[in-house]
Structure 1
Amino acid sequence: MQGPRFTRILRDITAVLVVGIFMFPIFWWGLTSIKPISAIFNKDEVVFFDFEPTLVNYQVVLFGKSRAELAIESGSTFGVGGGSTYDSRKTILDSTLVAVGSTALTVFLGVIAAYALSRINFRGRQAYLNWILSQRFMPPIAIIVPIVFMYHYAGLRDTITGLIFIHTLINLPIAVLLMKSFFDDVPVDVDEAAMLDGATRFQIFRKVILPLVTGGVAATAVLCFVFSWTEFLLSLFLTNQIRTLPVKISTFVTSTGSEWGFISALGTSAIVPSFIFILLVQKQLVRGLTLGSLKD
């Protein structure tokens, strides 16, 4: 009994240490976001908790306050170079519209395509699946130049619609492959039984099969949302005025240095929408991720 108990304790300790290692950067990110600039750029020591917390960084990036005005109010001009603002409210709104729009469009198209690939036999189906899979192997940088020219001539550059389309394009292969695996786990006998009762193919899809894979739809939606929310390269090259969160954060690296307080505040805030989205679909997400793990 002593052996198994020691093994369990060692396993739990190891699990806690591994989780702690992965969570420490997020903890440090959040801690830095409430540090005053003097604590962030302290050259003598690494400041952990020996500082007075401040919400100045959040006031600047989330409420549009000027860092110069805040410095004057606090009586300190340390690290303040001018009256520029790092207001990110429009960025958050644009990122939300792009992420939600591309997720909805990707899931809609992906579910329909995956059901067809799972249930309908047609010539070249396997080759088409292989082609979809190959799209995940191609890095976005390989197609960025033609995409930029196409967007320029189509008038989609620097538009919310254009970003939604390109994020849908890069997320659609993974959505199709994921949803096909979920549809494959539903026995074909279910479709055949519904057909015997007089249901059409669309009725079978909408009323019978789709309710059985809601967990898979939720899991796919979460992944598509996170991929769109954190996408950087395409958003950088296809926008000038519109800035998604990753692109906006990159602009906080200025000629005078990196604004780590603002970067950490906006980065910490960017985690919240994904966290809320995952909480809302937590039950379906767990079901979707475990769908098909048990076989009779």
Structure 2
Amino acid sequence: MVENKTRRRLRIVVAWFVTALFVFPLYFWTTTAFKEAKEIFNVPPSIWSFSPTLRNFEEVFGISFGFLRQQEVLPGGGNFYMAPRLWDSIIVALFSTALAIIISTLAAYSLSRMNFRGRHHFVSWVLSTRMMPPVAVAIPMFFIYKDIGLMDTHLGIIIIHALMNLPLAVLLLKSFFDDIPQEIDESAIVDGASRWLIFRRIVLPMAMGGVAATAVLCFIFSWTEFIFVLTLTQTGLKTVPVVSSSFVTSTGTAWGNMAALGVAAMLPAFVFILLVQKQLVRGLTLGSLKQ
């Protein structure tokens, strides 16, 4: 009995230590966004006691006392206005996630339920496309986009991000559809339901947890993607990861501004995960229990 209590306490201590190990860098980065430049470089670092300020957010987003400025001059000499860049990231991530989910649900259901020649080879081919590094595709896509006029456009980045997420989304959703018994489809077919009706009214609602989990991963991958946006955009469109690199200049790194942009960039992803939280939990546990 005493040994069990000791093990339980040890597991609790280890759990708190691992949690602190992951949370502390996030806390330190967040507090950096609210520090003056001189406090950021304090030795030893001012982790708990510092004078909070919103100056970094004002300089990054051009917000001062509730009014939008037209432009802000950041340390390093560059002229930036980061609010549109954050909207660029939100638009690209949301629409590319929606496009990837729409296509992948149909493809995954077909691979899970329909027997056709070469199905297993097709699954292997989908998996192999995910193994290709993005840098191997970026240069060819640059010339293709330049010829068809998709350079520096939201549509172009949405399409390439959706294509990037499709292999993972198809394989994940196929595993979720595989966990739903096929006897449900067979019973519905006997009752006269079509494949499309079975998919839309029966199978898809049962797999919404898996769809939510897949959507979260697609959103995060699109939100943090760097190579394609850097290669396929020039001046009009920039997402948060690419813009973050502009804070590193020949005169130094604007750590406070970079931290402010990073904290603001975490909020949309956090809100998106909260919105699909219930479905996400269902998706992570789907298939863990079988009758």
TM-score normalised by length of structure 2 = 0.94
* Superposition RMSD in Å: 1.5
Post-superposition CA distance 1:193-244 (Å, at most 9, x none): 1011111111111111111111111111111001101111111111112110
SS of equivalent residue, structure 1 residue 234:
helix
What residue identity is the alignment partner of 2:38? S
What is the one-letter code of the residue matched to 2:154?
A: I
Match of 2:91 in 1: 97
Q: Counterpart of 1:176 in 2: which secondary structure?
A: helix
1:137 Cα shift?
1.0
Q: 1:85 and 1:48 mapped to 2: Cα distance? A: 31
Q: Which deviations, in whole Å up to 9, do the C-alpha atoms of 1:91-127 show, x marking residues without a partner? A: 0111111000000000000000000001111001000
8 Å contact 1:178–1:220 — kept in the other structure?
yes
Q: State the distance in 1 between where 2:72 and 2:47 align.
A: 23
Rounded to whole Å, the distance in 2 between the matches of 1:86 and 1:46 is: 29
1:283 aligns with 2:268: no
- Partner residue in 1 for 2:27: 27
Shift of 1:147: 1.1
Distance 1:80-1:92 versus aligned 2 partners, 3 A rule: closer
Q: How far has the Cα of 1:156 moved from its partner?
A: 0.8
Partner of 1:17: 17
SS of corresponding position for 1:123? coil
Tell me which amino acid in the other structure corresponds to 1:222.
V
1:263 aligned partner: 258
1:224 is the counterpart of 2:218: yes
Residue 109 of structure 2 is matched in structure 1 by 115
Amino acid paired to 2:163: L
Residue 247 of structure 2 corresponds to 252
Shift of the 38–45 alpha-carbon distance from structure 1 to 2, 3 Å rule, reads same
**Match of 1:198, as an amino acid?**
G
- Quote the Cα distance in structure 1 between the aligned partners of 2:290 and 2:113: 20
Seen in structure 2, the aligned counterparts of structure 1 residues 80 and 184 have a Cα distance that, compared at 3 Å, is closer
Alignment of 1:76-225 (within 5 A): 80=75, 84-225=78-219
State the one-letter code of the partner of 1:58: F
Relative to structure 1, is the Cα distance of residues 292 and 243 closer, same or farther in structure 2, using a 3 angstrom cutoff? same
Q: In 2, distance between residues paired with 1:176 and 1:81?
A: 44
Q: Determine if contact 1:111/1:176 at 8 Å carries over to the other structure.
A: yes
Structure 2 residues not aligned, in runs of 5+: 64-68
Q: Following TM superposition, by how much is the alpha carbon of 1:80 offset from its aligned partner in structure 2, in angstroms?
A: 4.9
AA of the residue aligned to 1:281: V
User: What TM-score do you get using the length of structure 1 for normalisation?
Assistant: 0.92
2:66 — aligned with what? none
Identity of aligned residues (%): 51
Structure 1 262/207 Cα, relative in aligned 2: closer, same or farther at 3 Å? same
Q: Which runs of 5+ in 1 are unaligned?
A: 69-78
**What is the deviation of 1:38?**
1.2
User: What is residue 72 of structure 1 aligned with on the other side?
Assistant: none
Deviation at 1:63, TM superposition (A): 3.1
Which amino acid letter does the alignment assign opposite residue 181 of structure 1? S
Contact preservation (8 Å) 2:127, 2:167? yes
